Amino acid sequence: MNKPTSADANDRIDPSVWKIVVVVLIGPFMTQLDSTIVNVSLPAIGQSLGATLRITQWVITGYLLALTLMLPLNAWLVDRFGAKRLYLGCFTAFTTASILCGASPTIHLLIAARILQGLAGGILVPMTQMMIARTAGRQMARVMGLASLPVLVGPIVGPVLAGTLLAHVTWPWLFYVNVPAGIAGVGLAARLLPRDAQPEQHRAFDATGFVLISPGLALLIYGMSNYASTPGRIAIAAGACMLAAFVRHALREGPAALVDVRIYRAPIFRQAAATQFFSNGVLYGRQLLIPLYLITGCALSPNQTGWYIAVMGVGMMCSFPSTGFLVDRFGTRMVSAGGALLAFASMLPFVWMAEHDFSHAWALVSLFCAGAGQGTISIPSVSAAYSTVSKATLPLANTALNIAQRLGGPIATTVLAIGVSLTVHAHDASSALSTHTSIASEPSAPHAFVLAFVILAALHAMALVSALQLPVRVVRAPS
C-alpha cells in the first residue's frame, strides 16, 4: 500500500479546524433560518397582532437596518473584546432577543426586539467568516466552500418549518425555535473555540467615524429600498454625503479610523472587494427580477415560481463543496471568472425568452447554471482577499469586505428597479418594488422585461470583468 505523501498530509484538513468551523456556523445558520422564517410568516404575524402591512414590514426593515448599523463596528469590537468573547456575547444576545420576540404582546415591542436581534446578528456572520479565515490558513477556499452548505440550507428549510409551525402552533414559536439551538451553540462555542490572544494595546473608539459610517450605510440602504419615494431619495442623498465625509475622515485618521479605508489601496484586496460587490449585486438582482418576470410576465403562480427559484439554490449547493478543490487545481482567477462567465451565460436565455417565448426547460437549466456559477464566484474572491492580509489585520479586512458586499445588493436592485419601472407598469412597479409588496395583479407582457434582463446581464458582465482582475493564485500572507 502506498503511504500518503507529505503533500497529501499538508492538504488534509485538520479535525480541530472542522470542530471550530462547525461550532461557529451555528450562529449564521440560525440567523439565516430566522430571517427566512420571519419573511414568509409576516402576514400571519401582522394579522395576529392586528397591525397593518406598512407597520408589520418594520419587523424585517428594523432587523436589516440594525444589521447594517453594527457591521462597521466588527473590527473594533474584535480588538476590544476578542473573537471568542464577542461571538459568545452576540450569540447569547441573539438567543435572548429571540425569547423577547416570542413574548412580545404588541407589534411595536416585536419590532424593538427584532432590532435587538439585528444588532447581535449583524456581528455573527462577519465574525464567522473571520474566524474561519484565521483557522483554515492556506486551505481557506476549500473550508469556506464546504462551510457554506449549512448556511444555504436555511432558506430552504425556513419556509417549510414556518409553514409547519403555523399549522400547529402560534407565531411566537417561530422565534422560540431559536432557543434550544442558541443554548447548544453557546455551550459548544464556550467549550471548543480557542482562547483569544491578548493584544498589547486596544484601539481607541472612533466616535466620529461611527457617527458617519453606520447611519450613513443604514440611510443609503434604506433609501435604495424606497428609491421611488421622496423620503427614500432624501435618505440616499444623506447617506451618500455621510459616507463621503467618513472616507475623508478615515483617510485623515489612518489606522485610528473605525474602518481604515486605505486597505482598499491593496490591489488584490481591492479587486476581491469589487468582485464581492458585483457578485452580491447579481445575486440580489436575480432574486428581484426573476420572480417578478415569472409571476407577472409568464403568469406562473407564486408556488410554481418558488420551485423555479429553488433550482438556483440547488445549483449553488452543487458547486460550493467543490470550489476549494477547483481553486487548488486551477487557481483563483480561473475558478471565479469561470463562475462569473457561467452566471452571465445563464442570463442570455432569459433575454431571449423575454423577447420571444417562455421555455420551462431553458428556464430550469439557466437557473441551475446561475446558481452553480454564483457558488464559484464569491468563495475564491473572499479567500483571495483574506489570504493577502495578516491575521492581525483580518478583522479590518473582514469589515471592509463585508461593507463592499453589503452595498452591492441594494445598489444593483435599485438599478434594476429603475429599469423595470421604465417598461413594466411604470407606476405600479415602482411603488411595489420600493415597498417590497406585490405588483398589480394584471400580468405584463413578457417582452416588457427585455430591458431589465439586459441590465441584469450587463451587471453579470461587470462581475466577470472584475473576476478576471483577480490574481491567478494567491499565497497566504505571513502572520
Question: Is residue 254 in some structural domain?
Answer: no
Q: Please tell me the predicted confidence (pLDDT) of residue 413.
A: 82
Is the pLDDT score of 447 beyond 70?
yes
Question: Is residue 470 in some structural domain?
Answer: yes
Question: Domain boundary at 194, 211, 241, which?
Answer: 194
Confidence of residue 373 (pLDDT cuts 50, 70, 90): very high
Distances (CA, A) of 432 to 45, 55, 60, 127: 21, 16, 16, 34
The answer on 457 and 332 residing in a single domain is: yes
The grid coordinates of residue 468 equal 478576471
Q: Please tell me the predicted confidence (pLDDT) of residue 441.
A: 41
Segment 283-294, tens digit of pLDDT? 888 887 888 888
Would you say 147 and 21 are in contact if contact means Cβ atoms under 8 Å apart?
yes
Average pLDDT for 179-191: 91
Question: Closest Cα partner for 209 from 71, 390, 416?
Answer: 71
Q: Compute the mean pLDDT over every residue in the chain, rounded to the nearest whole number.
A: 82
Per DSSP, 296 falls in state I
Segment 105-161, tens digit of pLDDT? 999 999 999 999 989 988 888 888 778 777 776 666 677 766 666 667 776 677 777
Would you say 51 and 114 are in contact if contact means Cβ atoms under 8 Å apart?
no
Average pLDDT for 178-202: 83
Would you say 210 and 250 are in contact if contact means Cβ atoms under 8 Å apart?
no
The answer on 371 and 459 residing in a single domain is: yes
Average pLDDT for 206-213: 92
For 287, the domain range is 263-479
The answer on 453 and 309 residing in a single domain is: yes
- Give the number of other CB atoms < 10 A from CB of residue 284: 18
Where residue 467 sits, what CATH number does that domain have?
1.20.1250.20
Question: Domain boundary at 148, 170, 194, which?
Answer: 194
The answer on 36 and 160 residing in a single domain is: yes
Would you say 221 and 406 are in contact if contact means Cβ atoms under 8 Å apart?
yes
Question: What is the number of structural domains in the chain?
Answer: 2
Q: Which of 81-85, 130-134, 376-380 has the lowest mean pLDDT?
A: 130-134
- Give the number of other CB atoms < 10 A from CB of residue 278: 27
Question: Is residue 366 in some structural domain?
Answer: yes
Question: Is residue 460 in some structural domain?
Answer: yes
CA distance 83 to 395: 9
The larger pLDDT score, comparing residue 254 to residue 440, is at 254
Question: Domain boundary at 179, 194, 209, which?
Answer: 194
The larger pLDDT score, comparing residue 280 to residue 150, is at 280
The larger pLDDT score, comparing residue 145 to residue 370, is at 370
Average pLDDT for 453-463: 94
CA distance 327 to 142: 8
